[in-house]
Amino acid sequence: MKFFLEPRSVVLIGVSRQTGAGAYNNFEVMRRYGYPGNIYLVHPKVKEILGQKTFPQVADLPETPDLAVISLGRERVLGVFRECLEQGIKRVVVISQGFADADARGKELQEKLVHMAREHGVRVIGPNTMGIVNAWSCFSTAFVDIPREAPPPPMTLVVQSGVFQAGYPNFTGHLGKSIDIGNAGDVDFVDLLEFLEHDPQTRIIMLHMEGIKRGRKFLEVAARVARHKPIVVLKTGRSTAGAEAALSHTGSLVGEDAIFDLAFRRCGLIRVRNLVELRAVAKALLHFRPPAGPRLGMVTATGAFGIVAADACEDYGLELAPFPEGSRDDLENPHIAWHRLHNPVDIWPLGMVSGSFAGVFTKAAKALIQDERVDALLGVCPSWASPLHADIDMVAAVREIQAANPSQKPLALCPYGDDTLRQGQALDQVPGVACFDTLDEAILSLAATWRWHRMVVGGGQGSQTLLPSSPKPPSPTPYRGLERECGGTAPLKAGLLVGEEAMALLADYGIPLVPGRLVQQEAEAVAAAGKFGYPAVLKIISPQWLHKSDLGGVLLNLGGEAELRKAYTALTEAFSRQTPGGQLQGILVQKQVRGVELLFGLKQDPQFGPVLVAGMGGIYTEIFQDVAREFPPVSRVAAATLLRSLKIYPILEGVRGQAGVSLASLEDLILALSCLAEDHPEIAEMDLNPVVADAQGCWCVDCRVVVAE
Amino acid sequence: MKFFLEPRSVVLIGVSRQTGAGAYNNFEVMRRYGYPGNIYLVHPKVKEILGQKTFPQVADLPETPDLAVISLGRERVLGVFRECLEQGIKRVVVISQGFADADARGKELQEKLVHMAREHGVRVIGPNTMGIVNAWSCFSTAFVDIPREAPPPPMTLVVQSGVFQAGYPNFTGHLGKSIDIGNAGDVDFVDLLEFLEHDPQTRIIMLHMEGIKRGRKFLEVAARVARHKPIVVLKTGRSTAGAEAALSHTGSLVGEDAIFDLAFRRCGLIRVRNLVELRAVAKALLHFRPPAGPRLGMVTATGAFGIVAADACEDYGLELAPFPEGSRDDLENPHIAWHRLHNPVDIWPLGMVSGSFAGVFTKAAKALIQDERVDALLGVCPSWASPLHADIDMVAAVREIQAANPSQKPLALCPYGDDTLRQGQALDQVPGVACFDTLDEAILSLAATWRWHRMVVGGGQGSQTLLPSSPKPPSPTPYRGLERECGGTAPLKAGLLVGEEAMALLADYGIPLVPGRLVQQEAEAVAAAGKFGYPAVLKIISPQWLHKSDLGGVLLNLGGEAELRKAYTALTEAFSRQTPGGQLQGILVQKQVRGVELLFGLKQDPQFGPVLVAGMGGIYTEIFQDVAREFPPVSRVAAATLLRSLKIYPILEGVRGQAGVSLASLEDLILALSCLAEDHPEIAEMDLNPVVADAQGCWCVDCRVVVAE
């Protein structure tokens, strides 16, 4: 990766002959960015560009450059790429568009390119990229002129679009080094994270992700890197419409958004939802340490904003710290007896009486920041250009506060008034301080960085959700119902498993099934129901009646033998009438169980592999979508956490005098599914729905399994 | 109100003797703001301030000023206020803090002040206010120096904190006139809206609201004003913690947030959630017409932002318009055959080939904005200071686009790069154009202003939720079960109604009850259950067992006489054992009904009066909080809309082969409750829970009514 970011020499192929305004000439841009290495230009026709001699082809170069940058039309890329390989060039950036981001032809071209690269041990960034912009090495392959920050900030961007490089002042605010992986044909997020893990110039990593290919590997690497360096991810294509646009943009596979959510949470990544959050969180990470807890102390020059802050704390998951009672006498002013302080500390009346806003602000801020129950400080302060307010020197005040802040708790400021731009810049220079445009941005960034601290440094709730740092997590705790170790079973036959076949698979893993028997005769049905006990259920089992509920093929609440016989006749008659010549495998007699209806399942995600699902079953499933997900293998603790994360967990525990359900039996079921997922990676989808749970245990009532080829 | 906003003369009482930096002298500020009227100063000791003679008391003034501004300590306010009344002053601003915003003493002082004012026909703004800042009349009562915009924008702020005046550049961006009503002791939101309705200098109204007192009147006036002038409201104190802070800040009553939501929706107000939204929506309203529909056309210089926009559209409720197929040949470039356009239109490849980004941007934008299926246009464009990009003249491009935009569809822009501040200002000058810092702000503001258009101009879905413009809505459509007109009944006795008393009230309104009888003997229970049909339910009725479910006082699913008898004995024994000496009113025998469990109710809101509630009943009520609210009286259409707004509505309609429930019977029940609310304003709270519904009808199973004194 080093040769991509700090090449000693580079060849530009497809450089524009135009220069100056409107040229988009990457040679011109590279020079302006200050690149000190050798730049070679390949151009078939023009002899020189900007006074520098060009070469007709790559073979004519006097040395083998560390890096080639190709900006040709897509049909000419492969030929030149082969030339580069022949000349021994080991690193190539393919700027050109029109590959997997475009059409079938482009996809084919990209596959060929990647195949050639792998054959020759050559690494490629792109296609469809602006490449590298590295303020540390003064190197830029961009064809737009991007200002270079000096000294470079320790913030590295890995993105799938050059807009985050070209517009970084608006998006991340800063850019130390950046890599646009574009379509990620070869070099991908995993490669970059592995490099950045040990890069001393990178303290903060910002990802713009449209899709991912090596999901499982990403989980492993990201979880390891995020322990040392905060990783912020803007995953776009959350919406259906967005996902469509993503396919046409980078050709990445876009997965179900909830699974990305799970993946990021499990790795300890900070996910931002939009560009407002991206900018705010980037600033927070660059300016101050993440808070070690969620308790906010606040000093405000207006009571109204104490209320706004309380709203924002609730929105983003922080809380207001208790007021530091020990400082009350010192802070309150006996001349305004009616003014009782709390947190947020409204200093306006104090300032009006004492005559020094900066003074009372400083005093209150110091009291808060030195209180051990305060994890971060937020200040709302006026910033006016008027000479009438020249007495408010917030910069001096904030320096004084920081001098009394040895544990470096974060200090976020929201200046307001007509001079916030100028004063905000001055305040941003004070170490450990960051100014935000709005209180919402300040609070969301404190909340997001605290979540990272909680996930990674641990101690708080939620830290257990992080993936273990060893590549292979420990095998799940054994559960009742399975004697053997997971693994080593023969693969299942491809196709759809329903009815007894599916249930038999569950039984192998010790998953309890509702008592039932597939019968061919009414008398058998009566005998079975008598054995299980009433009420009973009858169901039509037929490949023609897969959606049997919708077709009326399920009759519930059969209270006794007479009702059962009537129902049996009704079902068989309905089957013959509605599907003449259909294949009736039999009538399933089940004991009717009552309890909480749940649903469990497995899904093979194209990026991240098997995902285990638990949720509310029954008719409300789709409406409330109360579903939680986890990557197998899961431990018993993780199984319990999964259940606890459901909204209906209070029902499972028992509410309003009602008995709860057997949580242990549900944990066993989750462990069994986890084992199933390990044994049978060929399972594409699997639904246990419903699973009925009561205080005694749980029983799977129906199951369906899709086995991939 | 005119004399508050444009007084011909004003007296300042309690003006500071200090001037210059740190003085907070409202006389000095008033002069600097350019006020041309007479200013009188009252000061007991100092002879002159800033070269102007002072008067020892109000009685010494040579004329009766239009307005007095009092800035004294709270204990001195009432005396001076009386002096003002005696001198015939009709308008007073009380800047001073420490009234209802502080403690019991302050509340008492405020009540006295308001009482005196009302007795003398004098209007008061405040206490606890910064008063008036009016750029139109160059009048400011503020004690901080606020820059005056010229020409003044047609945007009026009504706020409960001076911070929105002092910091308007950060919050609303602009300020034409503004009134801080502070504690709203006298002048309140209703007064101001009534005035602003006919104020030609006000086109847009921005409210910062911490609480409200005349809720019902506010509904009536706001619904009328919002028809002509968009009203944006930032209601703070959404969270529990926020509501606590609100009480201590302005002494307003803070109501349940969901009811404010309902109120704002019914009036056609644009509610913003936070300061990011406030600023964005203010800008949109000031710069362009609200879109007439939700369909967004987008031109972007980066494909990545098409995806970000799709995400944001889903977040905020817009949609991407279809691509204007008629312009495809004109827009696509045959030299890049792989590049197939869709909306968002990614112009990057086109710009690279044609060599003119501004040109392709303009062409695509014109095609979109002239398409009738596009309601608003969003542009993402680079804005670089580099001389290499001097060819991109977006200002000229945007002028050309607007010349081709006769129907004045809104044009929102998100420039990115290192020159957005400067270019953004230039672009903001083009009529009908607004630049936003982020795409999220652009899209949320388009969505919010569209919702206003939809609510007010109508045509789309949602327009029916607006309150009728006449003060008294029509009486509800009659419903089955009530022969008489609503109204004119005797009030209920104060206290708690449960059991048969409560059910009898429902029966009076034709609300169907589950068959039941309160019995004293086991034999009676058997007879009743036999009559209703099994399964049956038995419930303990006792004032000591109000939470009977939690205590085990409800036995369900009694399938026959033997089970019923056993249950009867079990309940009476449990009662004697658990509450010896308790008052057992009887055992309630009910038919057990099966179906969807719902909950209905009424609640008297302190601000807005009666509120009707419908929602999901049963054990999931608290977990999913699937509840909808409406102000009575409701029509049958409104009752149907209320049901339709529930998440569980699909279940009510019938899903997956299951029969739905009788919607007509639920509408009848809602109309009955609406009538009950009209007849009995003394009902403080009323719960019908559960109401069980099936395809045949619905039945209330239990009811509880709290009647206020």
Q: What is the pLDDT of residues A408-441, one digit of tens each?
A: 999 999 999 999 999 999 999 999 999 999 999 9
DSSP A430: S
Beta bridge partner(s), residue A381: A415
From A524, A522, A579, A576, select the one nearest A547 (Cα to Cα).
Answer: A579
Name which residue leads in pLDDT, B403 or A339. B403
pLDDT band with cut points at 50, 70 and 90 for residue A338: confident
Q: Is A276 on the interface with B (CB under 8 A)?
A: yes
What is the tens place of the pLDDT at every residue in B321-379? 999 999 999 999 888 878 889 999 999 888 887 778 899 999 999 999 999 999 999 99
Question: Residue A251 and residue A245: Cα distance in Å, rounded?
Answer: 10
| Best to test chain B binding among A159, A181, A308 (most B CBs inside 10 Å) | A308
Question: Residue B235 and residue A430: Cα distance in Å, rounded?
Answer: 34
Q: In this structure, what are the phi and psi dihedrals at residue B480, rounded to the nearest 5 degrees?
A: -60, 135
Question: Residue B61 and residue B49: Cα distance in Å, rounded?
Answer: 16
3-state secondary structure A236-259: CCCCHHHHHHHHHHHCCCCCCHHH
- Mean per-residue pLDDT for B608-619? 90
Q: Percent of chain B having pLDDT more than 90? A: 78
From A78, A90, A76, A73, select the one nearest A11 (Cα to Cα).
Answer: A90
pLDDT band with cut points at 50, 70 and 90 for residue B482: low
- What pLDDT is stored for residue A605 in this prediction? 87
Name which residue leads in pLDDT, A336 or B95. B95
- What pLDDT is stored for residue A254 in this prediction? 45
Question: Residue B697 and residue B480: Cα distance in Å, rounded?
Answer: 12
| Cβ–Cβ gap A550/B656 under 8 Å | yes
Query: How many helices (H) and strands (E) are present in chain A, helices listed first?
Result: 26, 31
- What pLDDT is stored for residue B438 in this prediction? 95
pLDDT band with cut points at 50, 70 and 90 for residue B528: very high
A520 contact partners, CB below 8 Å, separation of at least 6:
A586, A587
- Mean per-residue pLDDT for B213-239? 93
For residue B468, pLDDT over 70 is answered with no
| Best to test chain B binding among A19, A239, A299, A307 (most B CBs inside 10 Å) | A307
The B residues from 410 to 429 touching A (CB cutoff 8 Å) are: 416-418, 420
Name which residue leads in pLDDT, A201 or A349. A201
For residue B252, pLDDT over 50 is answered with no
| Cβ–Cβ gap B314/A238 under 8 Å | yes
Question: Residue A193 and residue A44: Cα distance in Å, rounded?
Answer: 38
Q: Percent of chain A having pLDDT more than 90? A: 78
Among the partner residues A102, A248, A308, nearest to B275 by beta-carbon distance: A308
The B residues from 180 to 239 touching A (CB cutoff 8 Å) are: 208, 210, 236-239
Which residues of chain B make contact with A178, given a CB cutoff of 8 A?
none
Which residues of chain B make contact with A390, given a CB cutoff of 8 A?
21-22
- What pLDDT is stored for residue B311 in this prediction? 93
What is the tens place of the pLDDT at every residue in A87-130? 999 999 999 999 999 999 999 999 999 999 999 999 999 999 99
- N-to-C CA span, chain A: 37
Question: Residue B544 and residue B138: Cα distance in Å, rounded?
Answer: 67
Q: Are strands B596-605 and A38-42 parallel, antiparallel or unpaired?
A: unpaired
For residue B556, pLDDT over 90 is answered with no
| Best to test chain B binding among A16, A19, A159, A388 (most B CBs inside 10 Å) | A388
B326, with CB counted inside 10 A (0-12, 13-18, 19+), is exposed
ipTM for the predicted complex: 0.91
DSSP A343: S
Tokens at B454, concatenated: 């939809």
Q: Is A104 on the interface with B (CB under 8 A)?
A: no
Question: Residue A82 and residue A61: Cα distance in Å, rounded?
Answer: 15
Among the partner residues B98, B238, B310, nearest to A239 by beta-carbon distance: B310
Name which residue leads in pLDDT, A464 or A528. A528
Tokens at A276, concatenated: 């407002």
Residue B663 near residue B637, CB atoms below 8 Å: no
pLDDT band with cut points at 50, 70 and 90 for residue B242: low
| Best to test chain A binding among B163, B547, B621 (most A CBs inside 10 Å) | B163
Question: Residue A301 and residue A360: Cα distance in Å, rounded?
Answer: 10
Residue A633 near residue A473, CB atoms below 8 Å: yes
- What pLDDT is stored for residue A559 in this prediction? 84
Which residues of chain B make contact with A208, given a CB cutoff of 8 A?
304
Among the partner residues A242, A312, A420, nearest to B170 by beta-carbon distance: A420
For residue A618, pLDDT over 70 is answered with yes
| Cβ–Cβ gap A550/B648 under 8 Å | no
| Cβ–Cβ gap B279/A438 under 8 Å | yes
CA of A235: which chain B residue's CA is closest? B308
For residue B265, pLDDT over 80 is answered with yes
Which ranges in A184-302 belong to alpha helices (H)?
189-196, 215-225, 240-250, 257-267, 275-287
Residue B57 near residue B83, CB atoms below 8 Å: yes
The B residues from 451 to 510 touching A (CB cutoff 8 Å) are: none
Among the partner residues A103, A308, A384, nearest to B144 by beta-carbon distance: A384
- Mean per-residue pLDDT for A23-44? 96
Among the partner residues B313, B382, B551, nearest to A241 by beta-carbon distance: B313
pLDDT band with cut points at 50, 70 and 90 for residue A243: low
DSSP A30: H
CA of B18: which chain A residue's CA is closest? A355
For residue B502, pLDDT over 70 is answered with yes
Written as one string, the DSSP assignment of A97-141 is -SSTTT-HHHHHHHHHHHHHHHHTT-EEE-SS---EEETTTTEE-
pLDDT band with cut points at 50, 70 and 90 for residue B487: low
| Cβ–Cβ gap B623/A355 under 8 Å | no
Written as one string, the DSSP assignment of A454-510 is HHHT--STTGGGSPPSSSSPPPPPP-TT--SPS--PPPPPSEEEEHHHHHHHHHHTT
CA of B343: which chain A residue's CA is closest? A245
Task: State the count of interchain CB pairs (< 8 A) between A and B.
Answer: 323
For residue B460, pLDDT over 50 is answered with no
Mean pLDDT of chain B, nearest integer: 91
CA of A145: which chain B residue's CA is closest? B386
| Cβ–Cβ gap B240/A22 under 8 Å | no
pLDDT band with cut points at 50, 70 and 90 for residue A354: confident
- What pLDDT is stored for residue A599 in this prediction? 94
CA distances from A436 to A441, B26, B344 (A): 6, 30, 31
Which residues of chain B make contact with A32, given a CB cutoff of 8 A?
388
Q: In this structure, what are the phi and psi dihedrals at residue A530, rounded to the nearest 5 degrees?
A: -60, -40
| Cβ–Cβ gap B161/A302 under 8 Å | yes
From B550, B553, B602, select the one nearest B706 (Cα to Cα).
Answer: B602
pLDDT band with cut points at 50, 70 and 90 for residue A659: confident
| Cβ–Cβ gap A170/B417 under 8 Å | yes
| Best to test chain B binding among A50, A311, A624 (most B CBs inside 10 Å) | A311
From B8, B12, B5, B11, select the one nearest B178 (Cα to Cα).
Answer: B5
For residue A460, pLDDT over 80 is answered with no
Length of chain B: 709
Please calculate the CA angle A228-A233-A239 and round it to the nearest 5 degrees. 155
Tokens at A37, concatenated: 């290495």
Global confidence as pTM: 0.93
What is the tens place of the pLDDT at every residue in A149-185? 999 999 999 999 999 999 999 999 999 999 999 999 9
For residue A475, pLDDT over 90 is answered with no
Identify the three-state secondary structure at position B657: coil
Q: State how far Cα B27 lies from the chain centre.
A: 37
| Cβ–Cβ gap B620/A648 under 8 Å | yes
Among the partner residues B305, B623, B655, nearest to A650 by beta-carbon distance: B623
Among the partner residues B21, B245, B441, nearest to A389 by beta-carbon distance: B21
CA of A308: which chain B residue's CA is closest? B236
Beta bridge partner(s), residue A158: A179, A207
A677, with CB counted inside 10 A (0-12, 13-18, 19+), is buried
CA of B306: which chain A residue's CA is closest? A245
Q: Is A76 on the interface with B (CB under 8 A)?
A: no
Q: Is A98 on the interface with B (CB under 8 A)?
A: yes
Q: Percent of chain B having pLDDT more than 70? A: 93
